């Protein structure tokens, strides 16, 4: 059935549009959740009475600040910083920081809103939040990155705390940036509080598997969807967009599970390697040398690079969008389905447009939305918080087992809720409903706060 907003919920959505003009990505994320909630209000009239949907759509707190810094030529630069503390019914605000020139309030709010339900699905005690800046790390020197991160943290630090708000990485924020921010926090506060950031280095409070977690987790989620249809990754041809943190570890796990990834991309274009992407080479280029993906050709002559090409034109059985929002539209989805794709797992947040989602749902393929499929990253961040709180560090094997178990549980929750609410196999409804009910119950219990 084509998704639509129930008539009881429609006025709430209109109010969100009126109160948040121009924030198109936020509208899209809210709409997608609200489309699932009509039947929930029928079963749970108390959520209507307590105005839970209206309250959940309004962030608890939004912080916007100036970030001044100096570039290597001595010029003063000004960026804008954001932290949206969306919902703390289940725990301290938790969600990454994104540094990308496209960042504005609408992007941070869409990400923060999705984060509420994603974090609820993990079953761990974490609320939802998100932040970032319109700073572009591309082409900047390490010194410039450090000066920017220090200035950003000089404002943000006062809002953080192990029991208050615990950011992590996202696009443009990896181990290097987390390091500079943690250093500045420690200097300003004179406190070694490991629990205020996750994604830390392994020598100073980080968790094994955190780097791999989002990609590994998304792949485990797809594995569960395939299993539910009596299938597996074995021998499957796969495409993975992006070539950042999420994409790289998605490729690694797919290869470990017997699939073959033939293409990946960056914002310049995509690489097609029919022998399978050489992961070691990709990591050298992207993680260590921070180069463009087209340089892959210098080392693998048989591969092809298509500048500004559309990776979704490549025939595959499993597609894992792992770059950014709205990177896969209705036409792309139709092309994928026509070419034989029968499973899509979103490593990125909201990478498929509403038209694309409609195509996947109508085709009846296994479609795992980001808020369920990529929850392994934040789940492992919560495991990092547990290790910090107990001043312990777990082995890689144990942490990965925990991650795999969490992804299996999330899959089961989505699967069962989709069935219970009359849309079997629809993981979008399953994820939205399961996540929402958990947060809504906590909000009702805590009264009007």
| Residues assigned a catalytic role | 130
Which one, 5 or 406, has the nearer CB to ligand NDP? 406
Taking the complex as a whole, the smallest distance from the CB of residue 133 to ligand NDP amounts, in Å, to: 13
Long-range contacts, 425-430 (Cβ 8 Å, 24+) = 425/364, 425/366, 426/361, 427/225, 427/366, 427/367, 427/368, 427/369, 427/372, 428/3, 428/32, 428/36, 428/357, 428/361, 428/367, 428/369, 429/36, 430/372
Taking the complex as a whole, the smallest distance from the CB of residue 285 to ligand NDP amounts, in Å, to: 11
Chain residues that interact with ligand NDP, rule: CB under 6 A: 169-172, 214, 242-247, 266-268, 322-324, 347-349, 374, 377
How far is residue 360's CA from residue 337's CA, in Å, rounded to a whole number? 8
Taking the complex as a whole, the smallest distance from the CB of residue 376 to ligand NDP amounts, in Å, to: 8
Q: Kindly give the interhelix angle for 210-228 and 396-420, rounded to the nearest 10 degrees.
A: 40
Which one, 172 or 368, has the nearer CB to ligand NDP? 172
Taking the complex as a whole, the smallest distance from the CB of residue 96 to ligand NDP amounts, in Å, to: 6
Residue 297 backbone class (left: φ over 0; alpha: ψ -120 to 50; beta: rest): alpha
Q: Is 133 helix (H, G, I), strand (E, B) or coil?
A: strand
Which one, 215 or 430, has the nearer CB to ligand NDP? 215
How far is residue 25's CA from residue 253's CA, in Å, rounded to a whole number? 30
Taking the complex as a whole, the smallest distance from the CB of residue 343 to ligand NDP amounts, in Å, to: 18
Taking the complex as a whole, the smallest distance from the CB of residue 264 to ligand NDP amounts, in Å, to: 8
Would you say 214 and 346 are in contact if contact means Cβ atoms under 8 Å apart? Answer: no
Which one, 12 or 215, has the nearer CB to ligand NDP? 215
How far is residue 420's CA from residue 77's CA, in Å, rounded to a whole number? 53
Taking the complex as a whole, the smallest distance from the CB of residue 245 to ligand NDP amounts, in Å, to: 4
Taking the complex as a whole, the smallest distance from the CB of residue 230 to ligand NDP amounts, in Å, to: 29
How far is residue 188's CA from residue 178's CA, in Å, rounded to a whole number? 15
Which one, 167 or 421, has the nearer CB to ligand NDP? 167
Which one, 98 or 438, has the nearer CB to ligand NDP? 98
**Structure tokens given for 334:** 């139709």
The number of beta carbons lying within 10 Å of the beta carbon of residue 175 is 16
Residue 190 backbone class (left: φ over 0; alpha: ψ -120 to 50; beta: rest): left
| Radius of gyration, CA atoms only, the chain | 21
* Contact partners, residue 10, CB within 8 Å, separation at least 6: none
How far is residue 46's CA from residue 428's CA, in Å, rounded to a whole number? 23
Which one, 324 or 388, has the nearer CB to ligand NDP? 324
Q: CB nearest ligand NDP: which residue? A: 244
How far is residue 16's CA from residue 182's CA, in Å, rounded to a whole number? 35
Half-sphere exposure of 416 (CA within 13 A, CB side): 9
Whole-number Cα distances in Å, 434 to 10, 12, 94, 257, 430: 20, 20, 19, 28, 6
Would you say 240 and 320 are in contact if contact means Cβ atoms under 8 Å apart? Answer: yes
Which one, 3 or 175, has the nearer CB to ligand NDP? 175
């Amino acid at each position: 059935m084509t998704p639509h907003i129930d008539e009881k919920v429609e006025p709430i959505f209109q109010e969100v549009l009126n109160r948040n003009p121009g924030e198109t990505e936020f509208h899209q994320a809210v709409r997608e959740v609200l489309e699932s909630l009509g039947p929930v209000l029928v079963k749970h009239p108390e959520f209507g009475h307590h105005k839970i949907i209206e309250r959940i759509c309004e962030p608890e707190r939004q912080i916007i600040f100036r970030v001044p810094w100096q570039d290597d030529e001595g010029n003063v630069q000004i960026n804008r910083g954001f932290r949206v503390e969306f919902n703390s019914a289940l725990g301290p605000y938790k969600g990454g920081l994104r540094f990308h020139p496209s960042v504005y309030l609408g992007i941070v709010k869409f990400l923060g809103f999705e984060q509420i339900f994603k974090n609820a699905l993990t079953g761990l005690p974490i609320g939802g939040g998100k932040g970032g800046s319109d700073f572009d790390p591309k082409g900047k020197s390490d010194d410039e990155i450090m000066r920017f991160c220090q200035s950003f943290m000089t404002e943000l630090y006062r809002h953080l705390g192990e029991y208050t708000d615990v950011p992590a990485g996202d696009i443009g924020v990896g181990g290097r940036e987390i390091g500079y921010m943690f250093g500045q926090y420690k200097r300003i506060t004179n406190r070694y509080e490991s629990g205020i950031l996750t994604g830390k280095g392994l020598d100073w409070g980080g968790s094994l598997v955190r780097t791999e977690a989002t990609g590994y987790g998304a792949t485990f989620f797809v594995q569960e969807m395939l299993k539910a249809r009596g299938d597996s990754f074995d021998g499957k041809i796969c495409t993975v967009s992006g070539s950042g943190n999420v994409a790289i570890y998605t490729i690694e796990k797919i290869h470990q599970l017997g699939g073959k990834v033939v293409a990946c991309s960056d914002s310049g274009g995509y690489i097609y390697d029919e022998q399978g992407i050489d992961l070691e080479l990709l990591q050298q280029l992207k993680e260590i040398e921070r180069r463009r993906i087209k340089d892959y050709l210098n080392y693998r002559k048989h591969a092809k690079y298509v500048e500004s090409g559309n990776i979704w034109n490549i025939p595959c059985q499993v597609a894992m969008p792992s770059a950014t929002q709205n990177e896969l539209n209705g036409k792309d989805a139709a092309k994928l389905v026509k070419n034989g794709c029968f499973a899509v797992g979103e490593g990125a947040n909201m990478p498929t447009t509403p038209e694309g989602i409609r195509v996947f749902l109508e085709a009846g393929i296994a479609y795992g939305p980001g808020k369920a499929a990529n929850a392994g990253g934040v789940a492992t961040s919560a495991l990092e918080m547990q290790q910090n709180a107990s001043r312990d560090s777990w082995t890689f094997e144990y942490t990965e087992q925990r991650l795999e178990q969490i992804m299996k549980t999330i899959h089961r929750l989505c699967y069962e809720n989709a069935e219970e609410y009359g849309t079997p196999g629809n993981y979008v409804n399953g994820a939205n409903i399961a996540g929402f009910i958990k947060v809504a119950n906590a909000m009702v219990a805590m009264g009007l706060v």
